[in-house]
Amino acid sequence: MSMNREGRPTRPEEAAGPEGHTWTGNRALMLEEPLIFEMDEAEGCGIDFESFPSPSRGEGNASEASEGEGTAAAGPHPGAARLSLSPTGRGKNLLRNRPIGLPGLSEPQTVRHYTRLSRQNYAIDLGLFPLGSCTMKHNPRLCEKVARLPGFADVHPLQPVDTVQGALEVIAELGTWLVKLTGMHSVAMSPKAGAHGELCGLLAIRAALEARGDARQVVLVPESAHGTNPATAAFVGYRVESIPADDRGRVDLDALTSRLGADVAAVMITNPNTCGLFEPDMIAISEAVHAAGGLVYCDGANFNAIVGRVRPGDLGIDAMHINLHKTFSTPHGGGGPGSGPVVFSEALTPFAPLPFVEKRGDHYVLVEEETAGEHHGQSFGRMTAFHGQMGMFSRALAYILSHGADGLRQVSGDAVLNANYILRSLDGVLDAPFGASGPCMHEALFSDKGFAEGLTTLDLAKGLIDEGYHPMTMYFPLVVHGAMLVEPTETESKATLDQFIGALRSVAERAKAGDQSLKAAPVHAPRRRLDETQAARRPVLVWQPPKQAEAAE
């Protein structure tokens, strides 16, 4: 018989190779990549430019330059002469006198640099991203396609309104959906993200209270609220007071009502709250706040858990922001800007910000400062230059219209089902401090109770990286020790959840058993455990060129 004798082994052979170091620093096909500035080559460039004349040859004034036109190849660069870019000319202050500091690289080097960096990233398009309270869910490609259509992708906010009627209709139509889904009265589309929406809501509340000559001083914020809430209240000039949670992880209704009084401007409540729990006393809270002359702000960041099922307007809420980048699945977290429209009750509508879109007959108009006086003169004013995040509006409306009202209802149902599947699958493995008080909403909360001495939530999170998962939110909310907040979102399948649960169970069992090797995690990541203390004490935020050794003369 004929034989190939090239000697290629086809089975793995026994080998006790040393772990770790390679000559390049690369880990197999995961390549170690320096900063782009460290790759700088003085003469490196992707494109050939005609060399720019040296300033000493470019002397002259505008009249000389015009005389010299047509003979540019022999004389100074005509553009340089017209600008008088010479050490003595009029534009001398504009002449660059030092290197611009951009790295010089060829095109293939640049392409490889960014492609290598992108491989070190983790993204929703790579896998489950269980970051609780910061919903990371699939961005449907249909929405991306719609946002890229000519007429959406290329409009300018200063175009005449007659040329952007379609874009204005998108803003108005999305606003109508948001108002109906929340059972509220009006909407401000311009806020740029969740915290900006909070600011919008509180500014409206302040404007309304000042309009009745009763500004008040205090905003009450429960412990289970988002961390931005007290910051927003302080920014608007209120004193923040904290309201404790009860042992079910909900707002302590008695503590809240007993604190209400003539100095309380508003209560800011996150519902569902940061423990992933619905606030069942919301109507009673709203009634008590209103009876005391205050207003109710709801942080609607977690609206994705209740959309299509609960209308915040029915709960007595006066203002609430909606994170389009969460509930309506526009790109989030490095993938795109946020967008935080705010819905208002009838009481707050007159104080909503400018500008906004209004339909008059078949025509959409922008109500701005020049025209607001006719019917919106009490507006607290403008908080952003233009009309909001247009690219997010087109995506969010595409998401809403492609799901329909029934589909949106299923979105929240599936999100809650997935979170509860995770919560119950970890029964007996991880401690769920509020697990006994019933189902959670869109996120499941665990504590580090039962971990072996010395092992922490941080160790578990780093262990999850080795298992191929971005960690969940850690150490938040603060009301739970070593908190782990897991939000799977509705777009993950049961098979994906089962694999994640398997990984989480495995790492949690190691933490409970006192497996000290978890302290070394992540061992498979391009970077091992980072020194957070050093990063906070001595942050290096700007790349500095290495100091060149003085050349010996």
Partner 1 sequence: MTEYYTEEHEWIRVEGDLATVGITDFAQGQLGDVVFVELPEAGREVTKGGEAAVVESVKAASDVYAPVSGEVTGANQALVDDPALANTDPEGEGWFFRLRLSDTSELDGLMDAAAYKSFCDSQ
Q: Which residues bind partner 1 (CB under 8 A)?
A: 475, 478, 532-533, 536-537
* Amino acid identity for residue 159 in this structure: Q
Query: Which residues lie closer than 8 Å to 133 by C-beta, 6 or more apart?
Result: 226, 274, 301, 302, 443, 473, 476, 485, 487
Name the minimum Å distance from CB 98 to partner 1: 32
> Quick one: 536 or 549, whose CB is closer to partner 1?
536
For residue 480, how many other CB atoms are within 10 A of its CB? 25
Pair 182, 320: CB distance under 8 Å: yes
Distance, in Å, from the CA atom of 304 to the CA atom of 209, rounded to the nearest integer, reads 30
In 452-493, beta strands by DSSP E = 473-474, 484-486
> Quick one: 391 or 482, whose CB is closer to partner 1?
482
Name the minimum Å distance from CB 534 to partner 1: 9
Name the minimum Å distance from CB 477 to partner 1: 12
Distance, in Å, from the CA atom of 302 to the CA atom of 276, rounded to the nearest integer, reads 8
Give the count of alpha carbons within 13 A of 300, CB side only. Answer: 37
Q: Is 336 helix (H, G, I), strand (E, B) or coil?
A: coil
Name the minimum Å distance from CB 541 to partner 1: 14
Name the minimum Å distance from CB 462 to partner 1: 15
Name the minimum Å distance from CB 533 to partner 1: 4
Query: Which residues lie closer than 8 Å to 359 by C-beta, 6 or more apart?
Result: 172, 365
> Quick one: 532 or 550, whose CB is closer to partner 1?
532
What token pair was written down for 410?
């299923």
> Quick one: 145 or 239, whose CB is closer to partner 1?
239
Rounded to 10°, the helix 390-425/494-513 angle is 60
Pairing between β-strand 484-486 and β-strand 473-474 as defined by DSSP bridges: antiparallel
What token pair was written down for 426?
């970890």
> Quick one: 19 or 531, whose CB is closer to partner 1?
531
- Listed in sequence order, the DSSP H helices in 69-132 are 78-82, 107-120
Name the minimum Å distance from CB 471 to partner 1: 16
Pair 277, 441: CB distance under 8 Å: yes
Tokens 């720019």 label which residue? 52
Of residues 300, 352, 348, the one with CA closest to residue 322: 300
> Quick one: 363 or 449, whose CB is closer to partner 1?
449
> Quick one: 42 or 536, whose CB is closer to partner 1?
536
> Quick one: 374 or 532, whose CB is closer to partner 1?
532
What token pair was written down for 120?
């070190």
- Rounded to the nearest 10°, the torsion over CA 152, 153, 158, 163 is -40
> Quick one: 48 or 531, whose CB is closer to partner 1?
531
> Quick one: 3 or 541, whose CB is closer to partner 1?
541
Name the minimum Å distance from CB 538 to partner 1: 9
- Listed in sequence order, the DSSP H helices in 223-351 are 228-235, 253-259, 282-291
Peptide bond into 230 cis (omega under 30): no
Q: Is 500 helix (H, G, I), strand (E, B) or coil?
A: helix
Pair 284, 253: CB distance under 8 Å: yes
Name the minimum Å distance from CB 87 to partner 1: 44
Name the minimum Å distance from CB 225 to partner 1: 16
Name the minimum Å distance from CB 456 to partner 1: 11
> Quick one: 222 or 331, whose CB is closer to partner 1?
222
Pair 343, 322: CB distance under 8 Å: yes
Pairing between β-strand 264-270 and β-strand 295-300 as defined by DSSP bridges: parallel
- In the chain, how many H helices and how many E strands? 14, 12
Name the minimum Å distance from CB 227 to partner 1: 10
> Quick one: 80 or 483, whose CB is closer to partner 1?
483
> Quick one: 156 or 239, whose CB is closer to partner 1?
239
List C-alpha distances in Å: 468 to 178, 355, 516: 37, 45, 20
